[in-house]
Amino acid sequence: MSSSAIFVLDLEGEVLICRNYKGDVDMAEIDRFLPLLMQHEEEGLLCPVLSHGKVHFMWIKHSNLYLVSTTNKNSNASLVYSFLYKIVEVFTEYFKELEEESIQDNFVVVYELLDELMDFGFPQTTDSKILQEYITQEGAKLEVGKSKVPTTVTNAVSWRSEGIKYKKNEVFIDVIESINVLVNANGSVMSSDIVGSIKLKTMLSGMPELRLGLNDRVLFGLTGRDKGKTVVMEDVKFHQCVRLSRFDSDRTISFIPPDGESELMSYRINTHVKPLIWIESVIEKFSHSRVEIMVKAKGQFKKQSVANNVEVRVPVPSDADSPKFKTSTGQAKYVPEKNMVVWTIKSFPGGKEFLMRAHFGLPSVENNELEGKPPVTVKFEIPYFTVSGIQVRYMKIIEKSGYQALPWVRYITQSGDYQLRTNV
């Protein structure tokens, strides 16, 4: 179905740890993986699926590790990649960081986890919070011999255990919107969209039933209410705790939340938004002598709002030298290893306009290597504000013990994939 075996390799292709699930692919085949990868990379044909004879390798890379799944069947490829990323997530929650050292330092737990995460190529329990209830790093705990399968593992609610208790019942809701923009060299916006995400930090006792109300236009259309601004969500994705069929029938977002932090939902909005920070750049390259850069940044959002930690990253040729900067605000810094100038503005009020000039020398001997045309990228964060205007109307919390709980909501807008192409 999916994986015959899972391998964790270091960057030299050495197996750090592996688990054979099905036994239908020779475990020695993994030795071919890295040479194959190298060969594809050299030919410029790098691909997430590699094959050698009848063996197919599906792989991802994480820090200094390769996670590889082998198969000789017509596996469900999307399941395999989802699963590999899930492994990364689980291991990261267990070991803080997933890297070569953490695998070696915890090999006993890693084996236990691999045993629990997948059986005969079928992914099983992959919720790290639940796994942590019966697979722990301190072996001592288990020695009592008392450990039981948490009923949660096979429950319909497989993401939350029973018997959770908090003195103060609270839930924190973060609404985070990321702006993706692609602007052409001539200044026209090629594509822009908003990817929103609603994150929860749940500190609630027992098994609470939650209902989240948003100013969703479809919902308002269904219920016939039409007050104030509504938002059209192009596509919505939910955490597995949300009852999808209920949402499908009456747009109600109802769920029993996982304990602690989780991403409840994400959504995509296609409405064309004005790029919040507009960049005009003029990059003039005088071969063999110098590069002159002029960047103008303009805050195209409400005057009351302030963008924090704004970073405008401007590409420069790899052989540029002796940087000189002049800025109307903030600081510019040359980062040679990334071939860019980073202009940082700690606080950028809406409606304002700032300027940065940079001057670089170029060697008289020209660099023969062709260089790409990296775009200008921008990073920023604007608190207390969502571009789409999405709002949490209510969060109803009902638990059979009848406690009162408080929801806290916070809005942030930030840059996502924010690229402006240059003409050099």
Partner 1 sequence: MTDSKYFTTTKKGEIFELKAELNSDKKEKKKEAVKKVIASMTVGKDVSALFPDVVNCMQTDNLELKKLVYLYLMNYAKSQPDMAIMAVNTFVKDCEDPNPLIRALAVRTMGCIRVDKITEYLCEPLRKCLKDEDPYVRKTAAVCVAKLHDINAQLVEDQGFLDTLKDLISDSNPMVVANAVAALSEIAESHPNSNLLDLNPQTINKLLTALNECTEWGQIFILDCLANYTPRDDRESQSICERVTPRLSHANSAVVLSAVKVLMKFMEMLPKDLDYYGTLLKKLAPPLVTLLSAEPELQYVALRNINLIVQRRPEILKHEMKVFFVKYNDPIYVKLEKLDIMIRLASQANIAQVLAELKEYATEVDVDFVRKAVRAIGRCAIKVEQSAERCVSTLLDLIQTKVNYVVQEAIVVIKDIFRKYPNKYESVIATLCENLDSLDEPEARAAMIWIVGEYAERIDNADELLESFLEGFHDESTQVQLQLLTAIVKLFLKKPTETQELVQQVLSLATQDSDNPDLRDRGYIYWRLLSTDPVAAKEVVLAEKPLISEETDLIEPTLLEELICHIGTLASVYHKPPSAFVEGSRGVQHKRLPGSAGSGESVESPDPGAAATETPPAVIPSQGDLLGDLLNLDLTPTTTTGPPPPTTSGMQMGAMDLLSGGLDSLLGGDIGGNPAMGAAFGAAPATMPASFNAPGSGGLDDLFDLGGGVGMPMGALNPPKAVWLPAMKAKGLEISGVFVRRAGVIQMEMTLTNKAMSVMTDFAIQFNRNSFGLAPAGPLQILTPLSPNQSIEPLNNLQVAVKNNIDVFYFSCQYPISMLFVEDGKMERQVFLATWKDIPNDNESQFQIKDCHLNSDAASNKLQSSNIFTIAKRTVEGQDMLYQSMKLTNGIWVLAELRVQAGNPNYTVSSVALAIGPIINQNGFENGFTNQAL
* Residue numbers 368-387 binding partner 1 by CB under 8 A: 370-375
Instruction: Read off the tokens for 27.
Output: 């475990």
* Nearer to partner 1 (CB atom), residue 97 or residue 417: 417
* Nearer to partner 1 (CB atom), residue 119 or residue 261: 119
Q: Helix, strand, or coil here: 154? A: helix
Among 10, 92, 153, 211, binds partner 1 (CB under 8 A): 153
Q: Helix, strand, or coil here: 108? A: helix
Q: How far is the CB of 364 from partner 1 (least distance, A)?
A: 23
Among 26, 76, 325, 353, binds partner 1 (CB under 8 A): 76
- Distances in Å between the Cα of 221 and the Cα atoms of 232, 237, 402 are 11, 20, 32
Separation between Cα atoms, residue 60 and residue 47, nearest integer Å: 10
Among 142, 222, 406, 409, binds partner 1 (CB under 8 A): 142
The residue type at 261? E
- 3-state SS, one letter per residue, for 319-365: CCEEEEEEECCCEEEEEHHHCEEEEEEEEEECCCEEEEEEEEECCCC
Dmax over CA atoms of the chain, in Å, equals 78
Q: How far is the CB of 92 from partner 1 (least distance, A)?
A: 14
* 254-283 positions binding partner 1, by CB under 8 A: 263, 265-266, 268
* 39-58 positions binding partner 1, by CB under 8 A: 44-49, 51, 54, 56, 58
* Nearer to partner 1 (CB atom), residue 100 or residue 280: 100
**In the stretch 78-117, what mask flags binding to partner 1 with x, by CB under 8 A?**
xx-xxxxx---------------x--xxxxx--xx--x--
Among 39, 63, 64, 124, binds partner 1 (CB under 8 A): 124
Separation between Cα atoms, residue 144 and residue 410, nearest integer Å: 44
- Using CB under 8 A, count the residues that bind partner 1: 94
Check residue 366 for interaction with partner 1 (CB under 8 A): no
* Nearer to partner 1 (CB atom), residue 28 or residue 365: 28
- Contact range with partner 1 by CB under 8 A, out of 149-157, 285-293, 333-341, 396-404: 149-157
Check residue 1 for interaction with partner 1 (CB under 8 A): yes
Among 17, 203, 294, 412, binds partner 1 (CB under 8 A): 17
What one-character DSSP code corresponds to residue 221? H
Instruction: Read off the tokens for 10.
Output: 């270091």
What one-character DSSP code corresponds to residue 31? G
CA 381 to chain centroid = 16
Place of tokens 């063996």: 55
Separation between Cα atoms, residue 21 and residue 216, nearest integer Å: 45
Q: How far is the CB of 219 from partner 1 (least distance, A)?
A: 14
* Nearer to partner 1 (CB atom), residue 56 or residue 160: 56
* Nearer to partner 1 (CB atom), residue 154 or residue 364: 154
- The H-or-E segment that residue 269 falls in is strand 260-269
Among 26, 134, 290, 311, binds partner 1 (CB under 8 A): 134
The residue type at 236? V
